[in-house]
Amino acid sequence: MAAGSKTESSVKARAELALNDEFLRKAVRFTTERLRGGKKKASEEHGNWEEWRERGKQIRLHTIAHLDYYLNLFVDNARSNGVHVHFANTGEEAVKLSLDIAQHASAKSVVKSKSMVSEELHLNHALESIGIEAVETDLGEYIIQLAGEMPSHIVIPAIHKNRYQIADLLSKEAGYTLPPDTTALAGFVRKKLREKFLEAEIGMTGCNFAIAETGSIVLFENEGNARMVTTVPKTQITLMGMERIIPSWEDLEVMATLLPRSATGQKLTMYMSGITGPRREKDGDGPDEMHIIIVDNGRSLQLGDPEFQELLNCIRCGACLNACPVYRHIGGHAYGSTYSGPIGAVLTPSLNKNIAEWDDIANASSLCGACYEACPVKIPLHDMLVYLRRRKVESGNGNKLESLGMQGFATVMGNSSRLGGVLRLGKLGQKLVVRSGVIKTKLGPLKGWNTYRVTPSLPKESFRDRWNTLDQELKQELRQMDPAMQRRMEELVKKREQERKDGKGGNGHHG
């Protein structure tokens, strides 16, 4: 999303689109449930989770509070390692730098591993506009790139596609028909992308953490594609948010404890790589030339802001998405921006500083606090959503309804008789997190929550109680999914659990 721009439809409309897609809804629910369960299990098994969260938070707070020192140290050290470091205040500058580097490398193709910053910049389009092929190499990202879509989950971008749709997409790419079999499909991608890795002049990555004291970047992944793009091509470009810094390798132990467990329930991702500069003179592989582009693009706006600075502590694990009842209902596409779920609801307007335009995203939250409880670095996202709405009102964008925080609601529900119905429904309270039938056809779940939140005569019951109801309903719906698909998914999970008990096979977490 270019800064300031906004997709045409509101969250409400996008949510309805999402809600009408049965597969998406069910797949999102199934996946988030699985990841949430994985996280719970992994954090309990590890133990002392609260102490680890607190430590993670303190390290992030400390680093951001001294960001001028640590970022500067990182830059100096990375340069000493032989890296070409660049600064981009805006997304446009980052794109311009990337294109300049690509042209000087006479690149015909760029292989990319997962990078949220690159999504933020819409870099693939820019590369293609100057005739350079950009290939996403993370399996899920590759699939949605072929489909011409946006990721719907930060960790599992293609959860909204089933294997038949994926087989169709890949068959088109292959020029022959592939069976809708996961192993065959992944096998095709392995072979296809092998060629791409070996051909590409440039490998492009994101950056999970950057270690100030040694100028190293750290990448977490399961597939090996980030290792590919940092090992095979001659030139490496790493796009890095300016806040990715941690002081030391010692601090990385805390992040490595929190991130994989929170994201997928793994003890560690299959690969964790620390890259310190381009290949050494005598090394037989690794990039000859390495660039790091440090991107601001709205991040520094949070610095010094007592209400939002902690946003920069985010380690992009996606746990808040999996915990969020709204996300689990509508999926990532409904948010209409690069970052979805609770973190997206706060981050998108904050990075863009156009609170008014993105207001309906902030309303796509139940303020239940599940996101805060899930967050491994304890970012008070639910508080931030409230601040965001207050600022929106303070910025003078509110009419009377908006002053109650009802903007998105009022826009859609302009019709007074329907509005009356909504308000009645809100007062009824109990029916709020209603059987989805009612909500879907009449109001959409967002409107239901909106109503509940903003109606002045609120029922006494806490949202936590309601959340439990909703949680049960989500599980209920999970039980109502297409029996064949559900059976297949459950069998897979069971099989993996059994294998784990037997001490072989996978533990069922994401790659």
Partner 1 sequence: MAKGGTGIMADTHKEWLERLEAESRKKQELFMNDIAAKLRHPRMTEKPQHPFRGSPDFWKAFEWSVEERIEAFTDNFLSVGGHVARLETMEEAKRFMVEKAEEMSAKYVIRQNQPELADLDLEGALPESQVSVWNTDPGQYWRARAAEADFGIVIADHAVAYTGSVTVLSAEHKGRSVSLLPTVLIIIIPVDRLKTRLGEVLSAFDEAGRENLPAGIHFISGPSRSSDIENDLTIGVHGPGIVYALLVG
Q: Based on C-alpha coordinates, what's the Rg of the chain?
A: 23
Cβ-based nearer residue to partner 1, 184 or 404 = 184
The helix/strand/coil state of 135 is strand
| Pairwise CA distance, residues 381 & 344, whole Å | 10
What is the closest distance, in whole angstroms, from the C-beta atom of residue 16 to partner 1 in the complex?
A: 24
Cβ-based nearer residue to partner 1, 133 or 213 = 213
User: Exposed (0-12), middle (13-18) or buried (19+): which is 355, by Cβ within 10 Å?
Assistant: buried
In 235-309, the DSSP E strands lie at: 235-241, 245-246, 271-275, 289-295
Token pair belonging to 383:
């508080």
What is the closest distance, in whole angstroms, from the C-beta atom of residue 453 to partner 1 in the complex?
A: 32
Cβ-based nearer residue to partner 1, 216 or 450 = 216
Cβ-based nearer residue to partner 1, 8 or 195 = 195
Token pair belonging to 9:
């439809």
Distance of CA 349 to the CA centre of its chain: 15
Tell which phi-psi region holds residue 435, choosing left (phi > 0), alpha (psi between -120 and 50) or beta. beta
What is the closest distance, in whole angstroms, from the C-beta atom of residue 177 to partner 1 in the complex?
A: 17
Cβ-based nearer residue to partner 1, 89 or 109 = 89
What is the closest distance, in whole angstroms, from the C-beta atom of residue 170 to partner 1 in the complex?
A: 10
What is the closest distance, in whole angstroms, from the C-beta atom of residue 380 to partner 1 in the complex?
A: 19
What is the closest distance, in whole angstroms, from the C-beta atom of residue 120 to partner 1 in the complex?
A: 18
Positive or negative, the CA dihedral 484, 490, 496, 498 is: negative
User: Residues with Cβ < 8 Å from 153, sequence gap 6 or more?
Assistant: 28, 31, 32, 159, 318, 321, 331, 332, 340
What is the closest distance, in whole angstroms, from the C-beta atom of residue 462 to partner 1 in the complex?
A: 32
> Residue 454's CB: how many other CB atoms inside 10 A?
20
Cβ-based nearer residue to partner 1, 165 or 469 = 165
The helix/strand/coil state of 49 is helix
Cβ-based nearer residue to partner 1, 65 or 423 = 65
